[in-house]
């Protein structure tokens, strides 16, 4: 199953000409359009490597993530006279300059607000332009740990897709590691290459436009980790084996949605001498949480307490409580539902005040399967 977003569609040229002719016959002549106003010249802006260098305050040229809600984010580059627009109004770039990352900014109409967020790989994954299906944080974190990624690691990835995985990996292996990423779609290759450059990741990521299943990686004795997110990863495994450093332990991971792909990949891994072949699936169980005000508990109806006559001498020696009053004088107060404090009415003297508590509930169903993660190890050549 190919889970890529299709970039081409099959068209019958003859049918297209027919349709165009028909449209011309059916459609009344359009009224002459007034001349479009001249477009303002595009503002030139030097992009800052926001993804690489963190600073406390937003500057012109920074990439900003506009956070509306956890499921609604967008991104833009801050320019001198640009605006970010959404359903709640206009947000002027010029007013963002000098604000701290994470600031809340109202729209010019005051109808809504956004948070100006630093583009961490975690947030970028949620806001990036989708050109393909992508990896999300639970899988990225799991893969990074199993591939033993850390600063200085040199690794291979294919396909690059929308660059979600690549952005996280670049941060993990920086500043001395390197990611070699391969993508066979010319369009996706160009877009990802431009993004890596604009985001200041050019020295950490090398991207090539290449069909790795047909032509391999053309690398030898170079990396310690390989990550495959391809429709037929088993075809790339012999070439991946060559790319591993001979005297080091090599770790490979393949991400596939179908178990048939996993079976073919495992067979190829075994044939190529990989060991410790295991398959995992990461499922996310979201917890909902909210703050509740618990109502006072009903008072237990106990047998009446025998009345004890308190001698005045004992009463006067009662130690003062925290309020500086003798405990026999203290009035117990409770808040009723309107929040007004009132004296306890149950006669017991005990008060069960309403309490603010945070409660959580695990989702009864987990989000559907994304992909299976097949891991394998290539042992060093000790001959």
Ligand X SMILES: C[S@@+](CC[C@H](N)C(=O)[O-])C[C@H]1O[C@@H](n2cnc3c(N)ncnc32)[C@H](O)[C@@H]1O
Question: Least CB distance from residue 165 to ligand X, whole Å?
Answer: 4
Q: Kindly tell me which of 212 and 378 has the beta carbon lying closer to ligand X.
A: 212
Does residue 132 belong to the site contacting ligand X (CB under 6 A)? yes
- Asked whether residue 183 is marked as a ligand-binding residue, the answer is yes
Instruction: Compute the least distance from the CB of residue 126 to ligand X, in Å.
Output: 12
Separation CA 163–CA 98 (nearest Å)? 29
Question: What does the per-residue mask of binding to ligand X show for 73-112, with x meaning CB under 6 A?
Answer: ----------------------------------------
Residue 251: which H helix or E strand, with range?
A: strand 250-256
133 touches ligand X by CB under 6 A: yes
Question: What gap in Å lies between CA 200 and CA 117, rounded to an integer?
Answer: 18
Tokens representing residue 250 in the block: 């090599």
Binding site annotation covers 343? no
Shortest Å, Cβ 134 to ligand X: 4
Tell whether residue 155 is a contact of ligand X (CB under 6 A).
Answer: no
Residue 164 binds ligand X, judged by CB under 6 A: yes
Helix 137-146 to helix 164-173 angle, to the nearest 10 degrees?
40
- The reply to whether 181 sits near ligand X by the rule CB under 6 A is no
Q: How far apart are CA 51 and CA 200, in angstroms?
A: 7
288 is in an annotated binding site: no
Other Cβ atoms closer than 10 A to 100: 11
Task: Name the minimum Å distance from CB 121 to ligand X.
Answer: 11
Please select the residue that binds ligand X; options are 196, 229, 265, 370, rule is CB under 6 A: 229
Stretch in the footprint of ligand X (CB under 6 A) among 60-68, 69-77, 132-140, 343-351: 132-140
| Contact window for ligand X (CB under 6 A) among 36-44, 73-81, 208-216, 360-368 | 208-216
* Binder among 159, 177, 233, 250 for ligand X (CB under 6 A): 159
Please tell me the number of Cα atoms within 13 Å of 183 on its side-chain side: 22
**CA 254 from centre of chain:** 21
In angstroms and rounded to an integer, the radius of gyration of the C-alpha atoms of the chain is: 32
Structure tokens at 381: 């050549």
The distance of closest approach from Cβ of residue 351 to ligand X in the complex, given in angstroms and rounded to an integer, is 56
Task: Tell how strand 372-378 and strand 250-256 pair up.
Answer: antiparallel
Helices assigned H by DSSP within the chain? 13-26, 93-96, 121-127, 137-146, 164-173, 186-198, 212-215, 237-243, 259-271, 312-317
Based on CB atoms, which residue is closest to ligand X, 116 or 229?
229
Distance CA(290)–CA(89), nearest Å, equals: 29
Tell me the window of 79-87, 227-235, 273-281, 300-308 that interacts with ligand X (CB under 6 A).
Answer: 227-235
Q: Which of 158, 172, 239, 370 binds ligand X (CB under 6 A)?
A: 158
The residues of the shown chain that bind ligand X, judged by CB under 6 A, are 3-4, 132-135, 158-159, 161-165, 182-185, 188, 211-213, 229-231
Binding site: what residues are annotated? 183, 211, 229
């Amino acid at each position: 199953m190919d889970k890529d977003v299709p970039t081409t569609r099959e068209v019958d040229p003859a049918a297209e000409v027919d349709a165009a002719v028909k449209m011309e016959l059916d459609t009344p002549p359009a009224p002459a359009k007034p001349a479009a106003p001249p477009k303002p010249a595009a503002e030139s802006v030097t992009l800052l490597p926001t993804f690489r260098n963190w600073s406390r305050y937003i500057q012109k040229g920074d990439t900003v993530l506009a956070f509306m809600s956890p499921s609604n984010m967008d991104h833009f580059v801050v320019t001198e006279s640009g605006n970010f627009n959404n359903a709640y109004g206009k947000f002027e770039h010029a007013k963002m300059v000098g604000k701290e990352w994470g600031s809340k900014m109202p729209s010019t109409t005051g109808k809504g607000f956004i948070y100006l967020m630093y583009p961490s790989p975690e947030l970028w994954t949620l806001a990036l332009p989708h050109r393909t299906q992508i990896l999300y944080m639970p899988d990225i974190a799991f893969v990074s740990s199993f591939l033993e990624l850390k600063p200085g690691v040199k690794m291979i990835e294919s396909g690059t897709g929308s660059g979600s995985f690549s952005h996280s990996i670049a941060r993990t292996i920086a500043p001395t590691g390197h990611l070699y990423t391969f993508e066979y779609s010319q369009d996706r290759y160009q877009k990802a290459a431009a993004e890596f450059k604009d985001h200041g990741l050019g020295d950490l990521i090398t991207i090539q436009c290449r069909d790795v299943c047909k032509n391999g990686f053309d690398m030898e004795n170079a990396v310690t980790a390989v990550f495959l997110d391809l429709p037929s990863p088993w075809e790339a495994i012999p070439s991946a084996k060559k790319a591993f450093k001979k005297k080091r332990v090599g770790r490979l991971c393949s991400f596939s949605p179908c178990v048939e792909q996993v079976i073919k990949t495992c067979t190829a891994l075994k044939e190529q001498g990989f060991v410790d072949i295991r398959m995992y699936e990461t499922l996310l169980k979201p917890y909902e949480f909210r703050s509740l005000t618990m109502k006072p508990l009903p008072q237990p109806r106990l047998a009446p307490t025998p009345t004890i006559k308190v001698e005045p001498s004992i009463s006067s020696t009662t130690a003062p409580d925290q309020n500086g009053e003798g405990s026999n004088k203290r009035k117990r107060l409770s808040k009723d539902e309107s929040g007004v404090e009132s004296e306890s009415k149950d006669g017991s003297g005990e008060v069960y005040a309403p309490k603010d508590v945070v409660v959580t509930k695990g989702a009864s169903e987990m989000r559907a399967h994304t992909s299976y993660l097949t891991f394998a190890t290539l042992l060093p050549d000790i001959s």
